[in-house]
Amino acid sequence: MKLGFIGSGNMAKAMMGGIISSNILKADEIIASDAFAPSLEKAKAELGINTTLSNVEVAENSEIIVLSVKPQFYAAVINEIKDVVKDNTIIVTIAPGQTLARLHEQFGRDLKIVRCMPNTPAMVKEGMTAACPNEFVTKEEVETVLNLLNGFGKCAVVSEYMMDAVVSVSGSSPAYVYMFIEALADGAVCDGMPRDLAYKFAAQAVYGSAKMVLETGMHPGALKDMVCSPAGTTIEAVRVLEEKGFRSSVLEAMKACTKKAHSM
């Protein structure tokens, strides 16, 4: 198999689904394992991939292996597969806190490792993934991994010291955005809008605003200023958000998230 996944949860399925639908790999070129059989069966039914209950089988037969299990299971999984992983296999990790040095120590030998941090919008092919390869991954191999990551969104290579910040600005941030959308909708409901319509208006406003940042290349502050007419409704709302510590709350939340990621 060209690509193997150890773990078949939501993130793994999002990644596999994007790679298949983008025609980067065919379903029969992907194999996944999982200790939880129902999750594996669901992945097979939805995506048509090969499946096995054996992590060792995945490790023995894949050119690229994605470790898509929770951080607390990494040590056990690596201990199980480390002796069967071939020297030219590329290991891709997607868990916070698993540094390249720690992974090297756990595998016990020089291997090609790419540390990544995707996020859940990968489920709709709008993910943002950071990638950090170790010194044993060639330029061509990095491009191969990036091609896979681009199958479910966008990606960028970053230095490893940035990876904890990536967790807070991208990996975890969809949760903050969903809270913001929910709050926007709640405000609209307070003013008489039906909830289903409120969610639609709020979500589209956030989606469109993000697209403006990405497609215009303008500074977010300049885009904000375009909406804020003198003595208007928007600047009054911005004034209250600043008074209530909106930006400070976001910054403090991100600092806490980064600190937690660093300690894992």
* Residue the block writes with tokens 């003198």: 230
Residue 166 has pLDDT above 80, yes or no: yes
Q: Do domains 3-163 and 171-263 have the same CATH topology?
A: no
Per-residue pLDDT at 212: 97
Contact 85/92 with Cβ under 8 angstroms?
no
Cα angle: 31, vertex 124, 187; to 5 degrees = 145
DSSP for 46-94, written as a single string: HH--EEES-HHHHHHH-SEEEE-S-GGGHHHHHHHHTTTS-TTPEEEE-
Q: Is the pLDDT of residue 138 over 80?
A: yes
Average pLDDT over residues 153-178: 96
- Segments making up each domain of the chain, as ranges: 3-163, 171-263
Across the chain, mean pLDDT equals: 96
Nearest Cα neighbor of 9 from 70, 98, 79, 56 is: 70
The per-residue pLDDT for 181 is 98
62 within 8 A of 35, measured Cβ to Cβ: no
Confidence band, pLDDT 50/70/90 cuts, at residue 264: confident
* Whole-number Å distance between alpha carbons of 28 and 48: 7
Are 171 and 119 in contact, with CB atoms under 8 Å apart? Answer: yes
What does each C-alpha distance from 98 to 55, 76, 111, 182 come to in angstroms?
19, 13, 15, 32
CATH code of the domain made up of 171-263: 1.10.3730.10
Angle between helices 246-263 and 173-190 (to 10 degrees): 150
Examine the pLDDT at 1 and tell me if it is beyond 90: no
Report the CATH number of the 3-163 domain: 3.40.50.720
Q: Helix or strand or coil: residue 171?
A: helix
Q: Under 8 Å CB-to-CB from 18, ≥6 apart: which residues?
A: 122, 125, 127, 151, 152, 153
Please name the residues in contact with 66: beta carbons below 8 A apart, sequence gap of 6 or more.
3, 4, 5, 6, 7, 12, 15, 92, 93, 94
Amino acid 238: pLDDT: 97
In angstroms, rounded to a whole number, what is the distance separating the alpha carbons of residues 28 and 119? 25
Question: What is the percent of the chain where pLDDT is above 90?
Answer: 97
- Tens digits of residue pLDDT in 56-100: 999 999 999 999 999 999 999 999 999 999 999 999 999 999 999
Strands, DSSP E only, in the chain? Answer: 3-6, 30-33, 50-52, 64-67, 90-93, 112-117, 127-133, 153-157
CA angle 87, 88, 94 (to 5 degrees): 95
pLDDT in tens, 207-248: 999 999 999 999 999 999 999 999 999 999 999 999 999 999
